[in-house]
Structures are given as C-alpha cells and as structure tokens.
Amino acid sequence: MTWFLSHIVLLLGFCLALVVIARMIRQRRSPAGSLAWLLIMVLVPYFGIPLYLMLGGRKTRRLADSKTDLALQDQQSPPPQEIPEIDRLLRSYGIPGASAGNRVQLCLSGEEGYTALTELIDQARESLWVSTFILSPDVVGRDIIERLACRAAAGIKVKVLLDGVGSLHTGKHALAPLRRAGGEVAFFMPVLHRPFRGRTNLRNHRKAVIADDLRVWAGGTNIAAEYIGPIPVPERWCDLSFLLEGPATRHYLSVFDSDWQFATGREHTPPQKCPRSSTPAGNAILQVVPSGPDVNGDPLYAALISAVFQARERLWIVTPYFIPDETLAEALNLAAHRGVDVQVLVPAKSNHRLADMARGPYLRDLQAAGGQIQLYQPGMLHAKALLADNHLAILGSANFDMRSLFLNYETGLLIYSPSEIKQVHAWIETILHDCRSGIGTVGVLRDLSEGVARMLAPML
C-alpha cells in the first residue's frame, strides 16, 4: 500500500510539474528568466514548484483581469510635428500622448521632499489620495499619519493605499489615528491571501500623493525617515521626488482609481471626474507611463530601450539597483561602442547585497564597452532617473532592474521639455561630484558568486 501511494504521489507531482512548466513557458518571460526557474524546479522540485506558484507569476491572466482596464484618458497633445518618436511608440501601447501645460518642481533632497509633501497635505481642501510602497511606523511615518488624520478630522476625504509587503510592519496601531479620524486605509495584495495565486511577487511599487485632484507629489521616494525628514541627517538616502501640476495629474489619479478599486473592490471616483486637473499650470511637456500586470505589454521598458537606441550624445542613468535584462544590457553596451557618453550612477554599496553581486557582471561589461560606472560614495542612492541627450528625461518609481521593469506595478514620468530636462541634467551633475568613477576587477571567488547571482537575477 505504501509503495502504491508513493507512486501516486510521484505521478501527481510529475503532472503538476508539467502543468507548471507549461504555464511558465507560455508567459512572456525572458529566456534567462525561464531557464532560471526551470533549473530550480528541476533540481529542487519540492522547493522550486511551490516557490514558483507563489512568486513566479508575471502577467498572470486571472489576477490581472480585474486591472487590465487601466485606461488613461487621452487629452490635448502637442502638434504632430512636435511629437517625439518615443511618444508615438507609447501611443501604440495605448498610453495617452504627451500633454503640454504642466509644471514640475524637483525635490532634490529628503528635506525638500518632506517640505513638499507636508505642504501638499496641509494645504489640501477636498481630498488626499496616498499610494506608497512603504509608509514606515517611524518618526516620519507617524508624523505623516498624524497630518493625514488631522485633515480627515477636518472633513477632507483621505484614502491611503499601502503595498502589503512594503508596509508589512505598518500595523493597525500605527494607522489607528487616521482610521479614527475617518480616513480609509487599504493594502494592495496583502501578504496573507489564498495560497498558490502567484501574487506575492507582484508588488505595487507606485508612489503618488494627490491633493484635490490637482497636485501630485510623486517619484521614487517612500515615506520613511531614510527617505525624507524635516532636518538633514547623515544617514539619509539620496533620493528624488517631484511636485506636479497640470493636465498630467489626471493620469496619476486614474492609476490610483484603478489600484484602489483592485485593492478594495470598491470604485474610488467616477471616471468623468477631475476636469480641473486639465487646467494649464506651466510649460512642461510630460507623459505618464504606468507599467505592470495591469498594462498591456511593457511600455515603460519599451521607452527605455528606444531611448537607449536613439541616444546620440549622452545617456545617463541613476538607479539604486542595476540588473537589466540581456536586451537592455546589450543595448547599453552598443550605445557605449557608438561613442555615446553612457554613465551609470549606482550606490557604492546598496541596501541589498545580492543585488550588488548580480549587478557586477553587467557593470563590468558596460565599462569594457566604453561606458562609465559612477559609484556614489556618501551612502545609499535610491533615486531613479534617465537622461537621454537633451531631448528626454525619465523619472518615477521604477528601478533599472528586471523586477521593476517586468513584475512590479510602477509609474514613470517622461519629460520632453528642454527647461525641465536641464534641471534633471543639473541635478545629476551635482551627485556626480560625490561619485568615484570605475568598478574594479574581482577575484575568482567573487566572480563565481556574481555569476550565480546573475543567473538568479531574473528571479530577484
């Protein structure tokens, strides 16, 4: 009997493995990613198969169905002769064209980001919609929660959407003041859910605080003392956020609407609302590009690839984690061979050791091709930006790694107007002064470790 049961279990396990492998192959995943998952499922099936069922989902059809309706409303765009090629490309993915009449103010430090955020909260008159990956229960997080609670008590509508993993340590006690004041809190894909749904690996990494449907504080900055605060502290990370006004704000609102409805099952606001956000506020030409399982294709990744191939003079990248897929890595190498000034700014040591190991081969290959590797010395560099010639800048929540580009829910802001691009250029030049140029060679053991990490990079 025991022999019979063991064979039944073995047969069922074999059938399950075939189903899982077939499902993995059907997903739009890179060959390297598929190979990494295949190896772990074959070599350690009793660990690899359950791990894939929990973490391996990407554009999971059943999961994404309720969010594939993320459709940003188009609006008045620049004349056709002014539309850049990347704008045309993104329109083919269903992304609305770039809009004029916006105003962008960069927040170049954690103190500036904190001031911009608190003023946005304190000056709100009707509504505050908050979406963030991390809302820490530390001194800064508690301060922001108290400010939101005060606004809710004053009759302002307040809704806070947190990622289930990023804000795992933000418990009911920390959020209690906001809820008591009438604010609403929801968690995007909580950690505790029905097993084997392929959800745990799909995180909402988007960050935006929207006041009165008119102004947005966004970028890559989380709400925690490591990122922002009222006074400078030596250990604070170098990050970048921005304030936005004008027609582009309505797209951040649409993204929040979709995410809130997905997390709560309740509609946030009627789609026809927010005509006021279309009022011109400046001269910036911007394009909001969401990416993730709720967007058809990979438009943000496509924009990055196109920017790399179109660059003729300058291609500067700022990112905390540099783990591109093979296509993007080769595109950067080719740009460097063409004589483009390719510079990648990363922290000398990030907060993720495995990510630092995985980036090594990519950075050394790029350096060998003629690119420059800039290692930020003062501490952690968490900002995300791309500068292509004098024609394009990209800011937002996405890192230059496969997790951000293919798994997470992200939002990017493409800037086409010269004045704002110059501001991004000037900011990158300031942090270049705190960088050490060049990445050195490594010994055999480190090279082997980096090779293993690179092989696992598609799973990170």
Triad 324, 236, 216: Cα angle to 5°: 70
* Token representation of residue 21: 């492998």
Least confident interval from 178-187, 205-214, 267-276, 283-292: 267-276
Higher per-residue confidence, 208 vs 5: 208
Lowest mean pLDDT: which of 90-94, 170-174, 317-321, 455-459? 455-459
Length of the chain: 460
Rg (CA), the chain: 22
Cβ(445)–Cβ(428) under 8 Å?
no
User: Could you tell me the CA-to-CA distances from 174 to 135, 139, 191, 286 in Å, in that order?
Assistant: 10, 11, 18, 36
pLDDT above 90 for 30? no
Work out the mean pLDDT of the chain and round it to a whole number: 85
Rounded to a whole number, what is the largest CA-CA distance in the chain? 78
**CB contact at 8 A, 359 and 346:** yes
DSSP states along 248-301? THHHHHHHHHHHHHHHHSS--S-TT--GGGGS--SSEEEEEEEESTTSSS-HHH
Average pLDDT over residues 354-360: 92
Please give the residue that has the higher pLDDT: either 8 or 226.
226
- What local confidence, expressed as pLDDT, does residue 52 receive? 58
Identity of the residue numbered 17: A
Token couple for 416: 């086409």
Question: In the prediction, which pLDDT does 55 show?
Answer: 54
Q: DSSP class of residue 408?
A: S
* Mean pLDDT for the stretch of residues 87-98: 93
Distance CA 311, CA 313 (A): 6
Residue 195: which pLDDT band, with cuts at 50, 70 and 90?
Answer: very low
Phi, psi of 66 (to 5 degrees): -75, -5
Dist CA 437 CA 432 (whole Å) = 9
Full 3-state SS string of 136-164: CCCHHHHHHHHHHHHHHHCCCEEEEEEEC
In SS3 terms, 80-96 reads as HHHCCHHHHHHHHCCCC
Residues 6+ apart with CB under 8 A from 433: none
Q: What is the pLDDT of residue 325?
A: 92
Of residues 249 and 63, more confidence is placed in: 249
Stretch 277-304: mean pLDDT = 89
Among 9-13, 36-40, 185-189, 319-323, the range of highest mean pLDDT: 319-323
Q: What is the pLDDT of residue 34?
A: 60
Whether the per-residue pLDDT at 22 is higher than 70: the answer is no
pLDDT score for 240:
97
Work out whether strand 184-188 and strand 157-163 pair parallel, antiparallel, or are unpaired.
parallel
Quick check: 310 and 447 in contact, CB under 8 A? no
Reported as a single tens digit per residue, the pLDDT across 366-415 is 999 999 999 999 999 999 999 999 999 999 999 999 889 988 999 999 99
Beta bridge partners of 347: 376
> What is the distance of C-alpha 454 from the center of its chain?
21
Classify 219 in phi/psi space as left (phi over 0), alpha (psi -120 to 50) or beta: left
Confidence (pLDDT) at 453 = 76
pLDDT at 198 over 50: no
Spatial distance between the Cα atoms of 119 and 116, rounded to a whole number of angstroms: 5
Token output for 76: 């008045």
Distance between CA 135 and CA 193 in Å, rounded?
21
Round to whole Å and give the CA distance between 65 and 100: 32
* pLDDT at 216 (0 to 100): 98
Confidence of residue 281 (pLDDT cuts 50, 70, 90): confident
Domains and CATH numbers, the chain: 2-56 (no CATH), 107-282 (3.30.870.10), 299-459 (3.30.870.10)
Q: Kindly tell me if the per-residue pLDDT of 290 is higher than 90.
A: yes
